[in-house]
Structure 1
Amino acid sequence: MKKNPLVEWVWVMDELGVGWCQCEKDSITGKAPHPVNKPLVTKSIIRALGDVPDVMSNQDISLVVVDLWKFDTITPPIAESLMRSVKAVNGEMHPQYPTATAMAAIKHFSNTFDGQINA
């Protein structure tokens, strides 16, 4: 997997949303014990897509988010939040992204999702 230095900031950002892990937070650090990290996102990519591709489409990103978060489907509020995350890490929407950029968008989504599933 190619390293993209332009998106590395995402992997150290604070959780701002509801958080993927709903386990009790560490009493000292205040952080969830199971953060969304590269190995976790990679597992979801493999489960959702069969392997780790060189590039990922918006649909691929959505499929990985559905797998990671165990959503039934991508609803409009989830899609909007996901689009904001893609734009945050890539600047704008495109048909495809390098896998490192797509993974960063998934991480950003996981750190900023507000929990709203239905409109």
Structure 2
Amino acid sequence: MVDWVWTMPDFGVTWCRCTPDPLTGLPPHSVTRPLITHHLVRVLGSVPDRVSNQEISLVVMDLWKFPAMAPPIAEALMRSVKAVNGLMGQDYPTNTALAVIKHFSNTWNGEPAR
């Protein structure tokens, strides 16, 4: 079950760079399932039944506007795969892949891409 990822608090840098809400201090936009699905379709052309590690990386790069998959980003993404799936695999059901991207987005500490 990967549903817990969608309710976890955001521990990392925020994805949204818009002005925070003056009352809560939170950014007005968060990484949601529809947002990730939008980037998945943009990168892959459709929503596949299974998503590979490379495809997850491509979606993360598109979502976060990373110029490349630098080592700190790859390591953080591997930690997210293990947190959500338990271990690394060749590919994952789409719901698991979306949850991995959500976990990464909630935990990315902002180390700069090299």
Structures share fold, TM-score greater than 0.5 = yes
Question: Could you tell me the TM-score, scaled by structure 1's length?
Answer: 0.91
Residue number in structure 2 paired with 1:63? 58
Give yes or no for contact 1:61–1:106 (8 Å, CA) kept in 2: yes
The number of equivalent residue pairs is: 114
Q: After TM superposition, list the pairs within 5 Å mapping 1:31-46 onto structure 2.
A: 31-46=26-41
Identity %: 60
Moved >4 Å (runs of 4+): none
The CA distance in 2 between the partners of 1:34 and 1:27, in whole Å, is 14
Instruction: For residue 22 of structure 1, report the CA deviation from its aligned partner.
Output: 1.7
Instruction: For residue 26 of structure 1, report the CA deviation from its aligned partner.
Output: 1.8
Instruction: For residue 79 of structure 1, report the CA deviation from its aligned partner.
Output: 0.1
- SS of aligned partner of 2:2: helix
Deviations 1:37-93 (A, max 9, x none): 011000100111111100000001000001100111100000000000111100110
Q: Do structure 1's residue 51 and structure 2's residue 46 form an aligned pair?
A: yes
Gaps of 5+ in 1: 1-5
Match of 1:23 among 18, 23, 27: 18
- SS of aligned partner of 1:97: strand
Match of 1:94 among 73, 89, 96: 89
Give yes or no for contact 1:19–1:112 (8 Å, CA) kept in 2: no
Instruction: For residue 29 of structure 1, report the CA deviation from its aligned partner.
Output: 2.9
- SS of aligned partner of 1:35: coil
The CA distance in 1 between the partners of 2:48 and 2:27, in whole Å, is 29
Residue number in structure 2 paired with 1:3? none
Gaps of 5+ in 2: none
